[in-house]
Chains A and B, each alone.
Chain A
Amino acid sequence: MSFVLSLLSRIGIMTIFALSYNMLLGQTGLLSFGHAVYFGLGSFATLHLLNALVAHGLPVSITLLPLFGGLAGLAFGLLFGFFTTRRAGTTFAMISLGIGEMVASSSLMFPAFFGGEGGITGNRVTGRGLFGIDYGTPLQMYCLIAAWAALCLLLTYGLTQTPLGRLANAVRDNPERVEFIGYSPHSIRYRMVALAGFFAGIAGGLSALQYEIVTAEALSDHLSGLVILMAFVGGTGTFYGPLIGAALVTVLQVAVASVTPAWPFYFGLVFLLIVLYAPGGIAGLLVQHKAVWQAGLLRRLLPAYLVAALPGAAVLLGTVAVVEMAYARGPERGDARLHLLFLPLDARSAVSWVLAAAAIAAGILLLKIASKQVAERWESVHAALAEAPR
């Protein structure tokens, strides 16, 4: 139970963070490599405020405390955004990377604020709960996170329906023309970065309360990379894509990490496959197939998919076998024998390696043939969709 709650809590926090990130990437066309800066600074600010309030014996209701994290994120968004948003594209990406590195390294320069290597800790249970809710239990904390996530979802969606939200899309599409309809692309990007900083700060604040510890990890390029992964896997082209990404990546992170030390490898692989073969992410696939389904044409695709699934599974299994055996040969594990589903493998035996390689090779070969089928079916579906009256 507590495992599920902690997983759900993390998903809630990451949902807010991913929504905030997609305000930049999906909606404004800004690829940021340093979004964790706002998450982390929101985290630190929230925990410092909590500790200060407790230390001075002031009444604390942590219910609203994440708002302070949001304000910290907003403040730093206003500060950094002014410099980063003058240009989009590569310039923005590089400056965001630079700022991310600077802030992350300053965590060691200002140990009083960042707590050095160990980070800072706090205690969210202040004994001043409202109606007996003091957030002492994981369930209460989860409810707080869920409430904030719902609120942020509502607000970020609302933002897409405002003049600024739509102008951000216009800037993403064609910043030059925006200037010739009377708007400054810089001002639009600047506001979006500041607002994204606000929501990232809320996510950071909730994270600080959930874990009651914040370390430099919260500012790191690792977390910045993770949120890019979530946005891409879920799909940046839709509003809800990052929600799917945040949930899926978090579940995978917890589930896969619990069974294999090779999980970052699999993450990289999934990322690669999505960027190469489904650039719209999972949400993009859903949108595509929804149109096909509504036209009643899904039946044309399914058989080809099923045929492709078999060699696909063979490639997957072979790849996992190779990766796991490679890890088993590494210095961290003594035992070279392992089980993959029902298959006994031995990293010291040539037979296992040959079998895995053969599965990959045969799978790829058959997958090539099968994917031609899928492509043909898609062509016929596209043709039928184009003819269908709108």
Chain B
Amino acid sequence: MSAAPALRLSGLCKSFGNAVILKGVELTIAKGERHAIIGPNGAGKSTLFDVISARLPASSGSVALNGEDVSGLGPLAIHRRGLSRSFQITNIFPSLTVFDNLRCSVLWSLGYRYSFWNRLARLRDARERAGEVLEQIGLQRRRETLAGVLSYAEQRALEIGITIAGGASVLLLDEPTSGMSRSESDEAVALIRKVTAGKTLVMVEHDMSVVFGLADRISVLVYGQILATGTPAEIRASAVVQEAYLGKSFTHA
């Protein structure tokens, strides 16, 4: 392991025509850190994730993954270098079974590339790895169910399963608990804690109890810029943050 940070964003900008969404984001996330990004609606959180994961090209600035500059690479190249992301709006393979959703997601990391001479059923390592993830996300009983007919919470769990299956070291989770009930959300937090152990986690989240329960450090993104970065206690205490975003009621959260 090198000493390079897992993720370093320098002067990251993104604009759509005249609309400037990201205005020079600077952020360094250490290996093994659990980092949450919070901010009001429209602050550019999802756009930030899209730019880091190359779903959208950056207008300027750079992204370094484990010390390597990955600016300008496509999403699959970045995934192959060890960064995997989930989506705010569930993004799975609806007509494949739950197990096949996971098995497809482990194939590249196991080196099977585009093989059309191996039989899937014979690939023991793929089956075992997919089975492990299936157990981690608690969907063993839904193994042969088509992903499209799962309940919402189950689909969210599968979304996380697909994201972690390839064994990426840096995980970006975009609002993993959005739309969940309190108890579902608690389960999701336990799941995230479990599956991200030993990895670097960056997440966008609106639910403050999730954020303060999970994150080692928090960054506040307002109008496309990082307003503050710090430990949960520091963020809670920060006058700037409270004024700009959190409001008074927040101190009781």
Interface residues of A (CB under 8 A from B): 158-159, 161-167, 169-170, 172-174, 176-177, 179-184, 187-188, 191, 195
Q: How far apart sit A184 and B113, CA to CA, in the bound complex (Å)?
A: 10
- Residues of chain B with a CB closer than 8 A to A170's CB: 93, 96, 104
Check B166–A187 contact: CB distance below 8 A: no
Q: Which of B9-17, B58-66, B115-123 forms contacts with chain A?
A: B115-123
Interface residues of B (CB under 8 A from A): 53, 55, 74-76, 79-80, 84-85, 87, 91-96, 100, 103-105, 107-109, 112-121, 123, 162-163, 165-166
Given contacts A167-B107, A170-B96, A180-B75, contact A187 B114 (CB under 8 A): yes
Q: List 28 A-B contacts (CB under 8 A).
A: A159-B116, A161-B121, A162-B118, A162-B120, A163-B107, A163-B115, A163-B120, A166-B103, A166-B120, A167-B104, A169-B95, A170-B96, A172-B95, A174-B92, A176-B91, A177-B92, A179-B75, A180-B53, A180-B55, A181-B104, A182-B108, A183-B107, A183-B108, A183-B114, A184-B76, A187-B114, A191-B114, A195-B116
User: Chain B's nearest CB lies how many Å from the CB of A162?
Assistant: 5
B156: min CB distance to chain A, Å: 14
Q: Which residues of A contact B92 (CB under 8 A)?
A: 174, 177
Are A162's CB and B116's CB within 8 A? Answer: yes
Nearest to A29 among chain B residues (CB) is: B95
> In the complex the two chains form, what is the Cα distance from A195 to B92 in whole Å?
26
User: B119 contacts A161, CB within 8 Å?
Assistant: yes
Task: Give the CA-CA distance A195 to B91 in the complex, in Å.
Answer: 28
Contacts of B103 in A (CB 8 A): 166
Q: Which single residue of chain B is at the shortest CB-CB distance from A164?
A: B116
CB distance from A241 to the nearest CB of B (A): 15
Across the interface, A173 reaches (CB within 8 A) one of B55, B96, B105, B123, namely B96
Q: Say whether B162 contacts A177, CB under 8 Å.
A: yes
Closest to B117 in A: A162
Whether A180 pairs with B85 at a CB distance below 8 angstroms is yes
Residue contact A166 to B114, C-beta cutoff 8 Å: no
B118 touches A163 (CB 8 A): yes
B100 touches A166 (CB 8 A): yes
A residues near B121, Cβ cutoff 8 Å: 161
Given contact pairs A158-B119, A173-B95, A179-B76, A164 touches B114 in the complex (Cβ within 8 A): yes
